[in-house]
Structures are given as structure tokens and as C-alpha cells.
Amino acid sequence: MAPAVYSATRFPDALIADDEWGITSTDDSYAEVLAVPAWRALHDELRSERFVRDVLTSFGADMRAAGCRTDPDRAQLVDFTETREEKGMRVLADQGDPNEVFTRLDFQSKAEGGYRDFIHLDWARRVVGGILFFSDAEEEGLEGGELAFYRDRGFRNDRWCHDPELTLEFAPRHNTGVIFLNSNSGFHGPRRIRRLAGRRRWLYFTISSTVDVWPCAPREP
């Protein structure tokens, strides 16, 4: 966002239920959020064909090197809405075109509690993921909660981190974010929150296919 627009835009904390992490596009409150012009403009930009094309082009060489089934030159943005229930499904579809991609953008906000170090990959249908921060660690009294990235010293190409080594971390800062490739080595996750007086606020963004796009080795028992 432009700095002036960001400063004037308020995150929809009041619309997020205490027992939920955020708002997704199938929630009634999503339309209420998008009634705010600044949120609508950001939503439309991040979920546009131009933005999706730019992101996939930026990651194109790495996607090919990692064997992604989605071809960044042939990918097409399709109109598909992943529900809250579908978001939690490990596999969404067994058959489909990996070059047909869709986006999702969730508004997420969390107070103290419920955070631990969670090293993972997103579902194998996610081509890229993104975290766009809308809070500042210092202002919120936040210790921990960084978005962290890891190298697996015991890498087996099975989408499981066997021996993690921290390589990068990004603390929440106003109007900043990270978009990353969800390849078999793209291990990431929030660091455990040690203290939080206010809230940790972010947008979760992804470009996905309905089918898995990252071939991998079977995981051993």
C-alpha cells in the first residue's frame, strides 16, 4: 500500500471471531471488509492476473529447477473459490490442470496464545505463499512471532523437515511482507510468541492449483 493509504486503513479486528484466526472469502464479513475502498483496491491488485503473472515470472527459474508441475509461462488464472473447509484439506483434487491457478487472500489477526514454532510447508497444491504484515512487533509488544525460514540438513525431498536449521526470519513491520516459493525445500513458519500485548495482524496470500504441483518422495514411516 502507499504509506499514506496504509496509515489511514484499519485492520478489521472487530470482524474476526475470538475462536477464529481470520476472515476468508466465503465468510459474510469478507464483503464488509471489501466495502472499504483501500481494502478493495489491495484485494483486487493482489488477486489480479497481472500480479499473479508477475509473481510466477519472478519465481519461474526456481519453479522449473524444483520440478513444479505448474509452468509459469502457461499458467492461467481461473475463477475458483477455496472454502474455509477446503483450505484445511491436504489434497483438494486428484485430477486437473496444474496450469490452472487460483488465489486466496485471508485477513488474519491473533492475540496472545496459540503460537509455537511451526516448521512446515503449505499444502502441495500451493505454488507460492505470502505473508503481508499489518502490525509492528515493537508497537504490539510482540516478542517472537517472526516469519522464519529453514534449511533441512536431513533433506529427503519428502516435504517433511527432518533436521531444521534457521536461515532467515522477518519480524512483523508495518506495510511489509514476504512472498515465497512453496517448493519441497521451502520450510517456513512463525516463531513461538513469548509475549504479545496487542495483536499480530497479517494477510495470508497464495497462488494455488486445485491439484498438487510439487512431486516428492514418499515419506518413510
pLDDT in tens, 176-204: 999 999 999 999 999 999 999 999 999 99
- pLDDT of 117 reads 79
Sketch out the chain's domains with CATH numbers.
3-209 (2.60.120)
pLDDT band at 20 (very low <50, low <70, confident <90, very high): confident
- What does the alpha-carbon distance between residue 111 and residue 160 come to, in Å, rounded to a whole number? 28
Whole-prediction pTM: 0.95
CB count in 10 Å sphere of residue 215: 12
Is 221's pLDDT higher than 90? no
Average the pLDDT over 86-104 and give the result: 97
- pLDDT of 112 reads 79
Phi, psi of 217 (to 5 degrees): -75, 150
Is 115's pLDDT higher than 70? no
Q: How many angstroms separate the Cα of 161 from the Cα of each of 66, 103, 164, 188?
A: 17, 26, 6, 10
